[in-house]
Structure 1
Amino acid sequence: MLTSFMEGLLCCLTSKSTNIVVPVETSESADGYEFVEVKPGRILRVRHILPDRSVVEEPTGQGGSVSCKRKITVYRNGQLFIENLGDRASAELKTCQNGQTEPNSTVEVEQTDCGNSSPPVGIPETRKRRRKPRRTVVIDCERKISACKGTHSDVALFFIHGVGGSLDIWGSQLDFFSRLGYEVIAPDLAGHGASSAPQIAAAYTFYALAEDMKLIFNRYARKRNILIGHSYGVSFCTFLAHEYPEQIHKMVMINGGGPTALEPSLCSIFNLPTCVLHCLSPLLAWSFLKAGFAQQGAKEKQLLKENNAFNVSSFVLRAMMSGQYWPEGDEVYHAELTVPTLLVHGMHDKFVPVEEDQRMAEILIMAFLKVLEDGSHMVMMECPEAVNTLLHEFFLWEPTTPPPFNWDGPVEDWPCNGGRKRWCSYSMLAERLKVRGEGEAVV
């Protein structure tokens, strides 16, 4: 503590940061590590493992097909109205936090807080609230989703860490999936790990870092790519999924939080001068250990040390926290995503409450939320076996395409009946009944 205080005092007197991350001089690949110059003088360390494949197997199955049809309307009072219009299952599972579902697959939520919102009481009030929509988005697409095996040469896994981390936090995942034959790519964000750390705050805005990730993605992308993000890294995954919708096959969000735009906090401790933050760095590291892990023992301390987590300069940390401005990344932005997404949440996470990941699962068209009771914010380090199993099962998952049905047969045999109502919407059932002249459909 005394040493940190003296270093901070020296920082104040010299107006320079004493903890500056610099890249390794060589740019040659060694032990799977590469150094990529994304811009002049801006160098990122990347761990790239391309396993030896004795037999390359191409995908044999056709996979499943999922229709994504929804209409998203945003009103001037902040109300978000989602109408799922598809005749397939995924879009019809959307619910609000009140736990209610609708056979019409219509979700009506408030952009500020879904759990505290109340549905309209009467028709006049509903019409009044929806009179002047501010924005309307219509999504109509069909995705073919197949299993991604490590032996497929057209599959690449991208791992993106969050604030204060490094690519080393993915050590267990990188080793596990590379042994299974997957090509894995994990970069260090600027100022983190062994990447270069420019001494200018503009180098750490969301857009600057997102541009870095675009260049890394374009360099290593295959035909089918899976994005895995943690915390702040989830925002870069959703950004890439919007930029390259045809190339992103699946996505994993680990403790990423809700679908809200990123905005720096005005009352944050990170608004303090850099030298003050440097003096407080031991306290910040201790706070991160307490909040980031369910248990705070010698094992967790060793994990932080070995994985180079929360080991960035005070200047970089302050610039990162004050540069999280992404107004486009709101709920509508996330609701437009059609990529299948797995959300993993550590129950003891003190940074991101589980309600935020539940909210994200509600907004996304096709999302699966898995909660690990023994994990916290750094769940991939605390529970590597459980996380690796969840990810691998998700990579191999493919939807089951329902077989064709005889619509001229008895109504009881239609997919809307017999406990399989989610295979077609109420509007579709009503239309079929109308065509056959059997009267109006009754819910």
Structure 2
Amino acid sequence: MLTRFVEGLFCCLSSRSSNVVVPIETSEPSADGYEFVEVKPGRMLRVRHMLPERPVVEEPSGQGGTVSCKRKITVYRNGQLYIENLGERASAELKCSGETEANSTVEVELAEGKSTPPVSPPDGRTDPAKEASREGTGEAQVRGQRRKPKRTIIIDCERRISACKGTHPDVALFFVHGVGGSLDIWNRQLDFFSRLGYEVIAPDLAGHGASSAPQITAAYTFYALAEDMRIIFKRYAKKRNVLIGHSYGVSFCTFLAHEYPEQIHKLVMINGGGPTALEPSLCSIFNLPTCVLHCMSPLLSWCFLKAGFARQGSKEKQLLRENNAFNVSSFVLRAMMSGQYWPEGDEVYHAEITAPTLLVHGMHDKFVPVEEDQRMAEILLMAFLKVLEEGSHMVMMECPETVNTLLYEFLLWEPATSPSSKTISKSRPETAKPQSDQSRTVPEDRPCSARQASNSTS
């Protein structure tokens, strides 16, 4: 602690940066799968690319299922988002939360709102009694404003969702870490899936791990880092790609899923937060000068240990050291936090994603509340939320076996095609009356929605 303080004080007096930033030279791929990719002239990213041997290509056991992704998203001038799901619901076998029924309507506030209105009936009809109460409480004016949409987005496509077998050469798994991490935080996942025959790709973000650390803050904005991830993705992408992101890395996975909807087969978000646009905070400790942050680095590391892990013992400290978690320079940390500006990534942006998504949340996470992931599950078209009670923000390091099992089950998941359900859904008239409470009872094998999960725990 005293040494860090002296170094920071010296860099303040000498008016120079405390971190030494140099580009890493190119090198040939090593036996462990490490290689360096030049994303910009002089900027190298370390990538762990593990391509297992595939002596026999296993044929898929089933043809998978086709899901009709029909969605109407309406943004109203009073700050409300109105989502109408018109496609057929994919029958889920995962015991998770967050799936949205077909022919359902979801009405939510935008990110600026303070509350989330209830879900409307499946046929979009409203209760006359509630309408009368709205008239008395002054909500008629709000409904009048909502009749004038600001913009309307129509999504109409068919997605074929099949199980991702590790022995297939057209499947690739991408792992993207967040602020302060490195590709080493995925070591247990990379080893697990490579042994199963999957091709795995995990890059170090700029300034993290063994990647180059430019001396300009523009290299650490969201758009600059997203462009780096685009180059990595285009270099290693296969026919069916699965993106696994953690924390800030979820935003880059969302960006790629939105840019390449046909190539993203499935999506995994681990403690990624809600579907809100990114904007750096004006009142943040990371706005302090670099030398001050360098002096405070031991304190920041201790705070990260307290907030990122459910337990703070010698095992967790060793995990931080071995996996290079939160081991970045103060300059890079400050530039990363101040560069999180992404106004396009709002709820409408996330609602346009049609890839099946698994959300994993550690219950003890002090960085991302569980309500944010529940909100994300409500906005996404086909999402499954799984909350791990024994994990926190670094859940993939705390309980890797559980996370690996969840990811593997999600990779093997495919919707069951039911011709009978398709016939019923197509023959259902638009003016059908709302179902009774008994007929709308959720079966045990069907995951409840995120809103139902939150109501049951409250």
TM-score when normalising by structure 1: 0.88
Does residue 78 of structure 1 match 2:79? Answer: yes
**Separation in 2 of the partners of 1:361 and 1:75?**
21
Does residue 167 of structure 1 match 2:168? Answer: no
Provide, for residues 363-406 of structure 1, a one-character-per-residue CA deviation record: whole Å limited to 9, x for no partner.
Answer: 00000000000000000000000000000000000000112479
| C-alpha contact 2:47 2:203 (8 A) present in aligned 1 | yes
Does residue 245 of structure 1 match 2:261? Answer: yes
1:51 corresponds to: 52
| C-alpha contact 1:70 1:140 (8 A) present in aligned 2 | yes
Measure how far apart 1:87 and its partner are.
Answer: 3.5
For residue 252 of structure 1, give the secondary structure of its aligned residue in structure 2: strand
Measure how far apart 1:103 and its partner are.
Answer: 7.8
**Separation in 1 of the partners of 2:422 and 2:170?**
37
Letter paired with 1:28: E
Provide, for residues 86-122 of structure 1, a one-character-per-residue CA deviation record: whole Å limited to 9, x for no partner.
Answer: 243479xxxx99x9x9884001111137772446725
Letter paired with 1:50: L
**Separation in 2 of the partners of 1:441 and 1:293?**
49
1:421 corresponds to: none
What aligned pairs does 1:96-245 form with structure 2 within 5 A after superposition? 104-112=103-111, 116-118=115-117, 121-122=134-135, 124-125=140-141, 127-245=143-261
1:13 corresponds to: 13
71-80 vs 340-349, which deviates more?
71-80
Letter paired with 1:296: Q
263-272 vs 104-113, which deviates more?
104-113
**Separation in 2 of the partners of 1:442 and 1:186?**
48
| C-alpha contact 2:4 2:295 (8 A) present in aligned 1 | yes
**Separation in 2 of the partners of 1:118 and 1:288?**
35
Measure how far apart 1:124 and its partner are.
Answer: 4.0
Measure how far apart 1:353 and its partner are.
Answer: 0.3
Measure how far apart 1:442 and its partner are.
Answer: 6.0
Structure 2 unaligned blocks of 5 or more:
119-130, 436-458
**Separation in 2 of the partners of 1:198 and 1:313?**
11
**Which of the numbers 309, 317, 321 marks the counterpart of 1:305?**
321
TM-score when normalising by structure 2: 0.86
For residue 337 of structure 1, give the secondary structure of its aligned residue in structure 2: coil
**Separation in 1 of the partners of 2:422 and 2:333?**
61
For residue 419 of structure 2, give the secondary structure of its aligned residue in structure 1: coil
122-131 vs 329-338, which deviates more?
122-131
For residue 189 of structure 1, give the secondary structure of its aligned residue in structure 2: coil
Instruction: Tell me: CA distance 1:180–1:236, structure 2 relative to 1, closer, same or farther (3 Å).
Output: same
| C-alpha contact 1:201 1:319 (8 A) present in aligned 2 | yes
Does residue 25 of structure 1 match 2:41? Answer: no
Letter paired with 2:50: I
Provide, for residues 156-183 of structure 1, a one-character-per-residue CA deviation record: whole Å limited to 9, x for no partner.
Answer: 0000000000000000000000000000
For residue 266 of structure 2, give the secondary structure of its aligned residue in structure 1: strand
| C-alpha contact 2:173 2:201 (8 A) present in aligned 1 | yes
Identity of aligned residues (%): 80
1:361 corresponds to: 377
241-250 vs 132-141, which deviates more?
132-141
1:396 corresponds to: 412
Instruction: Tell me: CA distance 1:4–1:157, structure 2 relative to 1, closer, same or farther (3 Å).
Output: same
| C-alpha contact 2:174 2:243 (8 A) present in aligned 1 | yes
| C-alpha contact 2:87 2:102 (8 A) present in aligned 1 | no
Measure how far apart 1:12 and its partner are.
Answer: 1.2
Measure how far apart 1:56 and its partner are.
Answer: 1.6
**Separation in 2 of the partners of 1:103 and 1:62?**
22
| C-alpha contact 2:64 2:162 (8 A) present in aligned 1 | yes
**Which of the numbers 336, 346, 366 marks the counterpart of 2:352?**
336
Instruction: Tell me: CA distance 1:361–1:5, structure 2 relative to 1, closer, same or farther (3 Å).
Output: same
* Cα RMSD for the two superposed structures: 2.3
**Separation in 2 of the partners of 1:103 and 1:152?**
32
**Separation in 2 of the partners of 1:242 and 1:406?**
28
1:61 corresponds to: 62
1:372 corresponds to: 388
117-126 vs 128-137, which deviates more?
117-126
Letter paired with 1:34: E
Provide, for residues 257-279 of structure 1, a one-character-per-residue CA deviation record: whole Å limited to 9, x for no partner.
Answer: 00000110010000000110001
Does residue 278 of structure 1 match 2:277? Answer: no
Provide, for residues 257-307 of structure 1, a one-character-per-residue CA deviation record: whole Å limited to 9, x for no partner.
Answer: 000001100100000001100010000000000000000000000000000
Structure 1 unaligned blocks of 5 or more:
408-414, 416-423, 435-439
2:2 corresponds to: 2
| C-alpha contact 2:111 2:346 (8 A) present in aligned 1 | no
Provide, for residues 309-340 of structure 1, a one-character-per-residue CA deviation record: whole Å limited to 9, x for no partner.
Answer: 10101010000000000000000000000000
For residue 169 of structure 1, give the secondary structure of its aligned residue in structure 2: helix
Letter paired with 1:313: S
Instruction: Tell me: CA distance 1:24–1:332, structure 2 relative to 1, closer, same or farther (3 Å).
Output: same
Letter paired with 2:145: R
**Separation in 2 of the partners of 1:442 and 1:226?**
38
Measure how far apart 1:129 and its partner are.
Answer: 2.6
What aligned pairs does 1:410-421 form with structure 2 within 5 A after superposition? 415=424
Letter paired with 2:111: T
| C-alpha contact 1:90 1:366 (8 A) present in aligned 2 | no
**Separation in 2 of the partners of 1:214 and 1:48?**
16
**Separation in 2 of the partners of 1:348 and 1:331?**
25
**Separation in 1 of the partners of 2:422 and 2:235?**
48
10-19 vs 381-390, which deviates more?
10-19
113-122 vs 301-310, which deviates more?
113-122
Instruction: Tell me: CA distance 1:116–1:441, structure 2 relative to 1, closer, same or farther (3 Å).
Output: closer
